[in-house]
Structure formats: structure tokens, C-alpha cells
Amino acid sequence: MDTLFSFGPDPGSAQLARGIVRRVLEDQPADVRETAALLTSELVTNAVIHTQHPFELNVERFDDRIRVTVADASLEEPVVRDIDPGRERGQGLIIVRALATVWGVGRHPNGKSVWFVLRLAANSGVPQMGGG
């Protein structure tokens, strides 16, 4: 399953994107759904705050994993900052790096794509998550 959504640079976009991912993963345990929703929210929030341009959300569901991509018109590379407990913002990619199976950045002629892959729960019902 592959779904593509277009969003404006609206702070409410993160909530909508989380809902989309939760629906795509409705057959998964709650912790897997919520981890995927959190990671999606972090990528969408970065697109809204740092690019202030429309962006696309692509959700690809496979048997054993989900891949979520946020593509925007900014050529600026996202920055993974050091952990700072005193800072309220700017730690989203730390969360993505810690919880995603793998994540990365791709460049295209009109901007960039930031993506993550999260392994889905096996038949045992135990989520298979790892740092990337």
C-alpha cells in the first residue's frame, strides 16, 4: 500500500499526518502505531517549522515495515542536534534516530525528502524496533 498526501505549512498538519499513519497501521499493536505516529509527527513538524512551504507525506506499508517520507521544497539539510534537556524544541531528529529502524535524507531537484522505516510487529505481537 502506498499513499501520498499534500499539506500546507500548517501546524495542524502534524495531527492529520499522525491520524493517517495510525489508520494505515490499525492492525498493529498500539505501541507500534504510536511510535510510527510520533516519528511522522516529528518529520512533519520539521517541514512546517523549518521550510514554511507545502510538503508531501508518502506512507508506504509493506508486510514487515512501514516507510514514511516527508518531501519539501527546502534544500537545507536537517540537523540532528545534541541532546539538551533544557531545550523544549529542536530534538525531533534525536527521537527519529533513536526509534526508527533506519532513517535518512534524500535530495531531489525541487528540495529534499526526510524518511524513516519502522519494522512492524511480527506474529508474536512484539514490536521489532531498533535504533538506526
Domain boundaries of the chain, sorted by first residue: 2-119
Output the pTM of the full model: 0.85
Of the candidate CATH numbers 3.30.565.10, 3.30.230.80, 3.30.360.10, 3.40.50.1100, the domain formed by 2-119 belongs to 3.30.565.10
pLDDT at res. 113: 96
pLDDT above 90: residue 55: yes
Question: Residue 129's pLDDT is what?
Answer: 46
Could you tell me what percent of the chain has a pLDDT over 90?
65
- What's residue 127's pLDDT? 41
**Is 111:71 a contact under the CB 8 Å cutoff?**
yes
* pLDDT for the residue numbered 123: 60
Rounded-to-integer distance, Cα 49 and Cα 11, Å: 8
Structure letter (DSSP) for residue 22: H
**Which DSSP symbol is given to 123?**
T
Strand order in the sheet with 2-7: 2-7, 55-61, 65-72, 111-119, 102-108
Q: Residues, the chain, total? A: 132
